[in-house]
Each structure stands twice: as C-alpha cells, then as structure tokens.
Amino acid sequence: MQEQDPQVRATNFAEVACGYTLEEAMREAERCLLCPDEPCIPGCPVEIDIPEFIEKITEKSLHGAYETITDTNLLPAICGRVCPQESQCEAVCVVGDTLEPVAIGRLERFIGDMAIAEGWESVPYIEPSGFRVAVVGSGPAGMACAAEMAKGGCDVTIYEAFQEPGGVLKYGIPDFRLPNEVIDAEIEKLRRLGVTFEVNTLVGRLFTVEELLTEMGYHAVFIGTGAGVGGRMRIPGEELGEVYQATEFLVRGNLQPHQLPQEMREPLPIGKHVLVVGGGDTSMDCVRTAVRLGAESVTCMYRRTEHEQKGREEERRHAREEGVQFQYLTVPTRFLGDNGRVTAAECVRMRLGEPDESGRRRPEPVPGSEFAVPA
C-alpha cells in the first residue's frame, strides 16, 4: 500500500497510508488460499466471514463483500484501519507461515472506503420493537451496541460528554491513523438507522443511570464510557507542568480548540525534547503526534525490549521513519523540574528477569545504571 513520504507526513496530520486501488486490492485478495478450516474467522473478535468477503473481491463483487463484512461489523472503514489484525486474524493466516499474511485489515478498509465513496449503505425498514435503549458513550463499544440495537428495532439514543460523537476514535486516535471524515461517515450510517446523538451530555452530572431507567423511559442502558482516566507511573515529579497522561496529550494535540471542552482549549506547549514512556499503539500515537507538533527530538522509552513490545509493528516502523528514537530496557524513576515545569527525567537501565503473569520476562533495575535525559 502506498504511503506518504516520511519527510512530508512528519509535517502534517493527513493519513499516512493511502489505501488500495482496485487493482492492488484484487492482487492482494488473490493471495488468499481460501483454507477449508478458515482459522482467520475465529481469529476475528466479531467473526467476520473473511474468506467469503475476500473471495468476493476477487470476483469484483465489491458490494457483496461489503454485505458480508457488515453482517457482523458495521464499521469496516474504521476497523480496517485500527484493529490489531497482526495479533488477531492475520496472526493465524496460513499464508503467513511462509510469506507475509494476507492483508485482511487493508482489504476490509478498502471495502469500507468504497462503501462510503459509493454510498452503498442502505437502511432497510425495521419494525419498531417499542424498546428504548440509552447508550452512554459514543466510542467503538457504544457505536457497535447502538447499531445492533437499532437493527433489532430499538429506539436508541447515544449520550456523549464531548461536543462531537466518536469517543476515543475521534478524541484519542490521530487523524494520520484514522481521519475524522471516516469516523463521521460511519456515525452518519448510525443516524440513518435511526440512532439519536445527544452531545455535551455528561451522564452522572445531568442525570443518573438510574434516572434513565426510572424517569426517562428507557428499558435498558449500555455503559460504554471506556477508560477515560489513564494509569499513573507513581513516581516523584509526575505533578509537574507539561507531564501529561496520553489521553490528554492526544486530545489536545490532535483536535481543534472548538472541538474540545472549554477546560481543554488552552494551547498545548511542546518543548524541544519530548519523552514518551510506554511501548504500545497509544505511545506510538503520542510520539508521532509530538513529531508533527514540532518537537526537535522525540524518544520512546520502554522498560522491555522490542521483542516484548505490544502494539503494531507497522506503527513502530512509521515512527522510526519519522525520526523517533527508541530507548529500550529503560524506565524513568523521577521527573525533575524548574519553576513547576518538567526539565528532565532521571532514568535507570533495566534487565529482563523471570516471566511475569503476562508471560513476558519481568524487567528489573540494574544497580548503578542511573542517568538523566532532558525532557
């Protein structure tokens, strides 16, 4: 799949991967072996009939491929971009035993984008069930629940605390990975299914979940608020200015002020040297956002090795191409500051010990290996 040149994309927030042409999608689909045991289907969390939709691409039945995907997943343009296929469906692809696995996610994205461009999504008449459902949170879980309930004839309302629906898809994933217009197009499909969105509505402050059921006439409530508060490192100096949790950094760094709550509209200061602690996809989003915001140097610090690192290899490759440095077997132990603002991080080298409950080798500090880096 073609991509923006690294030196160009490091200066903009446009999507990095350009998407397949029809010819490219056909070539990739023809690599599928149509295995009789179909290991990719149980490898998919929603069990899309992957061989069937890929076979339909080879037959140029693109609308048929879309119908196969949306039988179990109404968000193909989103999932094709951000699902961790390399640890799910593509991880068990038989082609991957000897070659690169079939690019299932990219093919799903191709079909999802084609559906948006061609306006394929149709809204069949659904007999109303008389059942009212409130969904709290408009992220991927809330959107998926609302879609299933609406397809079952329910009257569905989604309550969103922020000014625009989309949840973590819009507020936590940068445009260069998941463009806003793709999210908005998938949201519009929900509206055509009859789903109503109530934004700037914080359930728990304006009314409670219990009141939704007892006073507002809903028969069921789905709570899909996600993990809005990240974990803390619990080290000295975390309270210093310009030390951010990933969620706040991504929200303020990737959206325009008018899209944010009033308390988050202050410009995000970016220093010369940005340090991101952690090795997953969220960390990759942070380092790549920092590059685009103009940091002179960006370092990803991870306490294990790349072999143990979670997240998509493609995201790490993109980060390296954009100039991000990786420092493995290292962890901060304290943040230092001046006038209440962070200026450096004291760190220690790590080594890998015995496996922990996750099966990965537990990192242990190396005595006498302390050092400091500017941040």
So what CATH class is 132-223? alpha beta
Indicate the average pLDDT of the chain: 93
Q: Give the mean pLDDT of 210-232.
A: 89
Reported as a single tens digit per residue, the pLDDT across 147-187 is 999 999 999 999 999 889 999 999 889 999 999 999 999 99
Examine the pLDDT at 109 and tell me if it is beyond 70. yes
So what CATH class is 246-374? alpha beta
Give residue limits of the domains in the chain: 6-118, 132-223, 246-374
Give me the pLDDT at residue 310, please. Answer: 86
- Reading the block at residue 170, the tokens are 């819009």
Domain 6-118 = CATH 1.10.1060.10: yes
Q: Give the mean pLDDT of 56-76.
A: 95
Please indicate whether the domains covering 132-223 and 246-374 agree at the CATH topology level: yes
% of the chain at pLDDT higher than 90: 85
Q: Would you place residue 229 in the very low, low, confident or very high pLDDT band (cuts 50, 70, 90)?
A: low
Examine the pLDDT at 228 and tell me if it is beyond 80. no
More confident residue, 267 or 140: 140
Reported as a single tens digit per residue, the pLDDT across 232-255 is 889 999 999 999 999 889 988 887
Give me the pLDDT at residue 357, please. Answer: 84
Q: What is the pTM of this model?
A: 0.91
Reported as a single tens digit per residue, the pLDDT across 306-341 is 998 988 999 999 999 999 999 999 999 999 999 999
Reported as a single tens digit per residue, the pLDDT across 112-153 is 999 999 998 766 778 999 999 999 999 999 999 999 999 999
Task: Go through 170-181 and write b for each residue having 16 or more CB atoms within 10 A of its CB, e for each that does not.
Answer: bbbbbbbbbbbe
